[in-house]
Amino acid sequence: MAKSKFKIPRIPGDTIVYPMIIGVILNSVCPDVLQMGSFFTSVVGGTGALVGAFLFFLGASIDIKSTPKAIKKGAVIIITKIVLSIIIGLAIAFIFNDNFLGLSSLSIIGGISVANNALYSGITSEYGDDSEKGAVAVTSLSVGPTVTMIVLSSAGLASISIGPIIGSILPLILGIILGNCFPFMKKTLSAGVTASIIVVGFALGANMSVQQLIQGGISGVLLGLITSLVVGFVTMLADKATGGSGVAGAAISSTAASAVANPSALAEVDAKYVAVAPTAAAQIAASVIITSFLTPLFAGWVYKRNQKKAK
């Protein structure tokens, strides 16, 4: 009788969550292993470079060809999402002294402003029309820590010069240019997206502790609920107000796995965020999982509601 093989269960965002957990365990149980030197230690301490590589690969996977209707729809939902993240984040910073039930402006803006575009594509492929499917070409442009850097710097909450802000989006832009100008480059570089996010996840986890992960998980659930239900409801209304069905607005109400790297990227350019970055990253990781379940349910509810009204 053949022995059954143990299979690791798939969960939403597992490509970054599982490697991150491995890194957390190593850093909590045997941190000296992470300081062995050479390439291994360089990976643990090279989060900034790894995120840059990820953005470069991701940029190459973005197709800038889209219909005007899709561009309009994508712009409406992602701008609404970003604006809401800014309003909520700055409210927490200035009204609640940057701590609302454990959530900071860094975790709010870094987690809400970036949507899971793979999840969005999956939802709209089932419930959306062509313009809703094509809108992902625009929503994908919000990836990376750029929005967080600009907002916190403009509000006086971070000290970041224009150079690092431009540098945060430059790998994405270069990837977009290469991917859209050279089809063979698009195919080659796009294949590196998943692999790079796995390595980024491990590096992030290797700079966290079990205590931080638990703390982030509790408040991270709240972040996920705000992202999917509060922000998602408003993006759905904005979509409907501009002639859409609301499905695209609901489908964008998630947190991208890549957003887990945003706090670390900010800490690279402003040292005062070094202490809070691991907790914010853990909160965003929890939001990735929560929204991966809630967003499809919310979008499905909007679609079914539209179907009932049509009948």
Range(s) of the domain holding residue 282: 46-304
Rounded CA-CA distance 205/18 in Å is 9
| Residue 118 burial (CB count, 10 A) | 19
Is 27 a domain residue?
A: no
pLDDT at 6: 67
Is 36 a domain residue?
A: no
CATH number at residue 163: 1.20.1530
pLDDT at 225: 95
pLDDT at 2: 54
Q: What pTM, to 2 d.p., does this model score? A: 0.73
Mean pLDDT by 10 residues, the chain (311 residues): 64 68 86 84 80 79 73 90 93 92 91 83 78 77 79 79 75 85 88 82 78 77 94 94 90 85 85 86 87 85 88 77
Residue 103: helix, strand or coil by DSSP? strand
pLDDT at 138: 78
Overall domain count for the chain: 1
Helix (H) or strand (E) holding 118: helix 117-127
pLDDT at 216: 75
pLDDT at 14: 66
pLDDT at 4: 59
Contact 112, 226 (CB under 8 A): yes
Is 59 a domain residue?
A: yes
Nearest Cα to 128, choosing from 310, 266, 300, 309? 300
Is 21 a domain residue?
A: no
